[in-house]
Chains A and B, each alone.
Chain A
Amino acid sequence: MSTPATPEANQANEPHETPWSLWEVFVRSSRGLSHVHAGSLHAPDAAMALRNARDLYTRRNEGVSIWVVPADAISSSDPDSKGSFFESPQGKDYRHATYYTKSEGVKHL
């Protein structure tokens, strides 16, 4: 990739197929746990995405259930506004049990 390609080289072998869409894969590692993001892959449809996910992310019994989600169906928070978006909990220590110290030493509390 560090060598600049010649125009001829660019013509040959250039992808002309429609690329398969991107899917995000979530795997439940065992019953009772949630599905956790494992990675992503390319597939033409949901059925193939599931099969590919099985082959790619559960070769060693890593899961008992798989979700695949088209990557473009996921909405996410804006990384540039991370400060303001997550501002609300700031300074609200009283939402944590550790805020209440007067009960220290009292049993079962």
Chain B
Amino acid sequence: MASQNLQSVPAELSPEELEREQAGQAYFDRIISEDSRIEPRDWMPEAYRKTLLRQISQHAHSEIIGMQPEANWITRAPSLKRKAILMAKVQDEAGHGLYLYSAAETLGQSRDKMTSDLIAGRARYSSIFNYPAVSWADMGAIGWLVDGAAICNQVPLCRASYGPYGRAMVRICKEESFHQRQGFEILLELSNGTPAQKAMAQDAVNRWYAPALMMFGPPDDDSPNSKQSMAWNIKRFSNDELRSRFVGMMVEQVKVLGLTLPDKDIRFNEETKKWEHGPLDWNEFKDVLAGKGPCNAQRLERRREAHDDGAWVREAAAEYARKQAEKEYAA
């Protein structure tokens, strides 16, 4: 799936086709300028379709891969209550992945193709899930920082111009707020616990802070697709704008936790009225995206294994459905 040259119209369009394209474009432009919604069977520019398909499927893959760092802690959760909560959360991530795969399918991509792209390593997902979750406090930091950043990013996506994407995001955002609060609570309890527990909470925050900030994507001057996405009303705010808002929220919340953020350069810029943070290591971000993160291979391997191990279940269910249909037909 090449992404270049999407704007150009194929040369051999008949006059009727050309007219249809132009009418479609005019209709699309009007819907976008009215800030209304595009629905699956509407005409849409090929580049709009591809951009959405890339964004939504990557988002879906992120939810599915995102199950792993936390599923890793289900058996070791410190109490039955924590175990039940963590299982509910991991189940939610699976649900979010499925909502998003459904939305992506309305753009003409099959579910199986997306699954095979992911397990063959042809698809991307959020870099954040390629970091290891090494302590129980990481469950807190992931909920508070990672899900917190995700919510900050996703709330504006509820108004994305593509109907099915916006609707999926509404559902997801409702459920994410539980995730962030439960993470906050884990950190708060650890912070109010023994000195060792508090140190564990601080260590987790120290490790997840920068990767969470990088979840908003590259800085605006290095984010070539952002402008077009904003013109199409897919994105509503720039990466830096959302990152700055997130930093402002975390600065206050970390005080309640009795912890600190590992960033001495955080300040509120009185002139721009925006929160600023210290430098981020964008080379690391690019490396992790390119597959050189600490857990990339492990995450994909685990996903592939789960898919292969589930093959017999899918086969059995399909065979059962076939036999039942046969019986019904015979009766």
Contact = CB atoms under 8 A, between A and B. Distances in A.
B is a partner of A: yes
Interface of A: 1-5, 9-10, 12-15, 17-20, 22, 39-42, 44-45, 48, 55-56, 59-60, 76, 79-80
B91 interface: yes
Contacts of A20: 314, 317-318
27 contacts: A1-B123, A2-B1, A2-B54, A3-B122, A4-B1, A5-B120, A9-B121, A9-B122, A13-B119, A14-B116, A15-B113, A17-B112, A19-B110, A19-B111, A22-B105, A39-B167, A39-B168, A40-B105, A42-B111, A45-B320, A45-B321, A45-B325, A55-B91, A55-B95, A56-B95, A79-B41, A79-B42
Nearest to A78: B41
Given A17-B318, A59-B95, A4 B2 contact: yes
Contacts, number: 82
Nearest to A25: B102
Closest 10 CB pairs of A and B: A45-B321, A44-B321, A15-B112, A79-B41, A13-B120, A44-B317, A44-B318, A40-B102, A19-B112, A1-B123
A45 B324 contact: yes
B311 A17 contact: yes
A3 B39 CA distance: 28
Given A1-B1, A15-B115, A22-B105, A56 B98 contact: yes
Contact of A18 (B115, B304, B318, B324): B318
A28 B314 CA distance: 29
B178 to A, nearest CB: 9
Given A9-B120, A17-B314, A79 B102 contact: no
A5 B122 CA distance: 7
A48 B311 CA distance: 16
A48 B313 CA distance: 12
A13 B57 CA distance: 18
A55 B95 CA distance: 8
Interface in B253-294: none
Contacts of B54: 1-2
Contacts of A40: 102, 105
B49 interface: no
B92 interface: yes
B62 interface: no
A80 B39 CA distance: 12
Contacts of B112: 15, 17, 19
Contacts of A9: 120-122
A9 B120 CA distance: 7
Given A9-B122, A14-B116, A45-B324, A1 B58 contact: yes
A44 to B, nearest CB: 4
Nearest to A42: B111
Given A45-B321, A59-B92, A2 B124 contact: yes
